[in-house]
Amino acid sequence: MSAASASAPRRDTRGIVDPAELLTRVRFRRHPPAPELRPYLEHYWLIDWELTEPYATHVVPHPSVNVVFQRYGPLDGPPDTAESSAEVSGIGLGLFTQKLTGLGRVCGVQFRPGGFRPFAPAWPVSTWTGRRIPLTKVFPTNEAGGTGEGTDALSAVLFPDGDHARVAALDAFLLAHGPTPDPAAEQAMELVDLIRTDRGLRRVSRLAAASGLSARSLQRLFAACVGVGPKWVILRYRIHEALERAESAGTAGAPDWALLADELGYSDQAHLVRDFTATIGVPPTAYARAVSAP
């Protein structure tokens, strides 16, 4: 397993559109899982909010499956004043937008790309791509939503005020459902780590050569264990980096988009602008101006 499995939760905000604005509206933090789970998970992410006016969050999803426990409404109010649910959120192919209002809380599990397969080995991970599925549909042995100890997982995760208790409940839930050792999933995680860390890896053919797999075998591995193809992963991490560069324009000055396009492996600036605009909804220069405005 790569060194990433033992690392602390990421501190970057990659994938979050206008993270500075988000962090003024919600209380957001990340926590590491239990040591046995770290080879498979990026981190837990917890969000609480109390808003006087609606706010829409926007995220360019990572190539990761998430398990999400969420409650919208007061935690101590009557049942009909709040709505709670738990779901498996497959890899989002487009911009993810969520409207937040009033009071609420979300406790999420972000798996490493490839890391969800050992918890649900009966299906290829591509089964969940672009979908949000009730948790009990993916973990049918957990029909009551329990953690394996007779405790309702939804309540155990969402109701404690302290982060420690919420993290412990997430650990208990996941440890009750796996993981099942899977060499293919381990290989997929290592290859995605390579894509994420090696900026010179811009083509699927080079990844195939590095893995010792044919292009077709690589596609099958990613469909089964990651949920999207290797080319999609390469392109998504390019967009994440371009988004981060655009967000830093206010302090570091506007990036040289033509140079950045070359660094990220685009044939020209126009292709970078096209992909950025298709994903975020506005061109990179317009986005950079908007997030750097006082």
Over residues 42-84, the pLDDT tens digits come to 999 999 999 999 999 999 999 999 999 999 887 666 555 578 8
Of the three residues 146, 175, 204, the one that is the final residue of a domain is 175
What per-residue confidence (pLDDT) applies to 146?
41
Name the pLDDT band for 245 (thresholds 50, 70, 90): confident
What per-residue confidence (pLDDT) applies to 230?
96
Same-domain pairing of 150 and 283? no
Same-domain pairing of 148 and 187? no
What per-residue confidence (pLDDT) applies to 252?
55
Same-domain pairing of 249 and 157? no
* Whether residue 3 has pLDDT greater than 60: no
What per-residue confidence (pLDDT) applies to 41?
97
Same-domain pairing of 138 and 33? yes
Q: In angstroms, rounded to a whole number, what is the distance separating the alpha carbons of residues 72 and 227?
A: 29
As a whole-number percent, the residues of the chain with pLDDT over 90 amount to 59
Q: What is the pLDDT of residues 192-214, one digit of tens each?
A: 999 998 877 888 999 999 999 99
How many domains would you assign to the chain? 2
Q: Which residues, other chains included, contact 172 with Cβ-Cβ below 8 Å and sequence gap of 6+?
A: 147, 148, 149, 151, 153, 156
Contact yes or no for 130/90 (Cβ under 8 A): yes
Residue range of the domain that includes 35: 3-175
* Whether residue 31 has pLDDT greater than 70: yes
Average pLDDT of the segment spanning 138-143: 64
Of the three residues 126, 143, 175, the one that is the final residue of a domain is 175
CATH number at residue 239: 1.10.10.60
Q: In angstroms, rounded to a whole number, what is the distance separating the alpha carbons of residues 117 and 223?
A: 11
